[in-house]
Structure 1
Amino acid sequence: MKVTLNGEWTQIPDNIIFVSDVLKHYKIHDKVVVVEVNGGILSKLEHQSTRLADKDRIEIVHFVGGG
């Protein structure tokens, strides 16, 4: 499946079905993230139930600490 991920066209593996699968694939499932799919912000509970489709637009923002 081909999606736009953080502004770039990306081919993701066929076994990725849900938003939570994308987070696991990129090893950011245990971080605090904000996910937007096709312009809508998802709650953390929606990550496991939101199915992805070809040409979806996904934005993932995670926070980095520093000082």
Structure 2
Amino acid sequence: MNTIKIVAIVLMASGILGLVFGSFNYTKESEEVKLGPVELTIKEKKTVNIPVWAGVGAIVAGGVLLAYGSRKS
């Protein structure tokens, strides 16, 4: 399996996952305050939405690369 086919499969898989889940969450730690023995850390939960066009675009780009990789072999 050559590199182009692997990249195509990864693009298609990520596009499908983007369409299925639509968003993902992560936690961001910010500003740590130390006042003697007291420490304060703020954890913020962030959500990143994945646009539908990005998922579809990744699937289409992966399909094009897969077709192109198959022709070159």
TM over 0.5: no
Choose 1 or 2 for highest CA Rg: 2
Greater per-residue helix proportion: 2
TM-score w.r.t. structure 1 length? 0.24
